[in-house]
Amino acid sequence: MRKIEADHDLGSPRVVDERNEVTYSRYGNHYIRTVTTRRFILYRCRRCGYEEVEEEKDTYDEEVNIIAIDNIPYLVGYTRLTLVQRLDTPTPEAEVKYVSVYHYYIPEDFIDTAIMSKIEELKKEIAEMYKRIQYINSYDVYLTGLGKFAKKVANETKQYDQQHDQWRVTEETYYVLEDGTKLTKQIVKHQKYRCRQRSVPTDEGEWVRQEECESTETEVLETHDYGEIPAFKTQIYNDYMKQKDGLEQEIKKLLQQMVRNKAKVDVQKDGERVKIKVNDDEGEYMYNWIDRTNYYRGKYGPLAMLFA
C-alpha cells in the first residue's frame, strides 16, 4: 500500500508563545548574563486547517555586574554606561551591597557608625532648615516696614450704572500677615465708560455705523506703604539656602572620608563623567542633563556618584 503525503498550503507564520530564560555564570570579577529566547511559531494550512508548530531559539550574552541597593537586586552594565535595571527573578549573590544614605549609595562594608551618627545629626538640621524655607516660600512678599511675611491679595468690585452707561470698578489690594491680620495697601476707583455704537445718516442718504471709544477715569482713594520685597530676594531666605547647601556639602565630605577610610579610592573626572577605582575594581557614573537620568558602569558605578 502506497502512502500519500498531503500537500499543504501553509499560511503566514504566527508567534503563539515566547519565553525568555536567563542564566548567570561567573566570569572573573563580573557575571555573564545569558538570555535565551524561545519562540513557538504556528503555521496553518489555508485549505484544510492542518497546523504545524516550529520552535526558534535566540541566545544573547552580555557582561554585567549584579549589585543590591537596600536589599533589592539590580543589574549594572560591565563594559558600558547603562541605566540600573531592577531584577525580580532569582539572581546570584550581589557583588556589592549598597545602602541609601541621603542622596548617595554607600557599600555596606564601608559604613562607619561614628560618622553615620554625625550625618544623622546633620540631616536633622537640614530637615529643620527645609521646613523654614518652605514656610518662607508659602508667602508672596516680605514687608520690610513691618519685618513680616505676607500674602498679597487683590479684589475687584464692579457696579454698572445703566443711566450713564458706565462701570464703576473698585480695586482693593491688601496683605494678609502671618497671624492672619489684613492690611490695606491701596484702594483705586475706576469709572469706565462703555463703547457706544450708533447708526448715522450720510449726505447720500445711507446709514453708517459709528463707535465711540471707551474712556476711563481713575482715582486713588487710599494707599499705604509697608515696604515690599519678593520673598526669594530676602536676606533671611538666602541665608537659609546657604546654610542648607553648606550642611549638604558637609554630609558629602563625611561620606567621602568614610569611604576613603575603608578602601583605596582613585577618582578621575572627565567632563560629565566620573571614573572611580576602588581596590582595583572600576566604576563610572554620568548624569545626563538632557533626560535627567543617572547612568552607571561597573559594580562601583553607584559609588562614583558620591564623587561627582
| 109-128 pLDDT, tens digit each | 999 999 999 999 999 999 99
> Are 25 and 87 in a shared domain?
yes
- Residue 194: give the domain boundaries: 145-227
* Cell triple for 83: 541605566
Length of the chain: 308
Q: Residue 275 belongs to what H/E stretch? A: strand 273-278
* Confidence band of 1 (pLDDT split at 50, 70, 90): very low
pLDDT(237) > 90: no
Give the tens place of pLDDT for each residue, 245-283.
999 999 999 999 999 999 999 999 988 899 999 988 989
> Is 100 among the domain residues?
no
The letter for the amino acid at 101 is: V
Angle at alpha carbon of residue 102, lines to 66 and 65, rounded to 5°:
10
Matching residue, cell 544573547: 60
Whether pTM > 0.85 for this model: the answer is no
**Between the CA of residue 188 and those of 5, 150, 154, 191, 228, what are the distances in Å?**
99, 21, 11, 10, 19
* Confidence band of 197 (pLDDT split at 50, 70, 90): low
| Number of domains composing the chain | 3
More confident residue, 55 or 181: 181
Distance CA 47, CA 6 (A): 11
253: β partners: none
Angle at alpha carbon of residue 90, lines to 87 and 91, rounded to 5°:
75
* Cell triple for 24: 548567570
Give the tens place of pLDDT for each residue, 134-151.
999 899 999 999 999 999
> Are 153 and 114 in a shared domain?
no
> Are 64 and 179 in a shared domain?
no
Give the tens place of pLDDT for each residue, 12-45.
788 777 788 888 999 888 999 998 888 888 888 8
> Is 1 among the domain residues?
no
Q: What is the mean pLDDT of the chain?
A: 88
Distance CA 230, CA 139 (A): 9
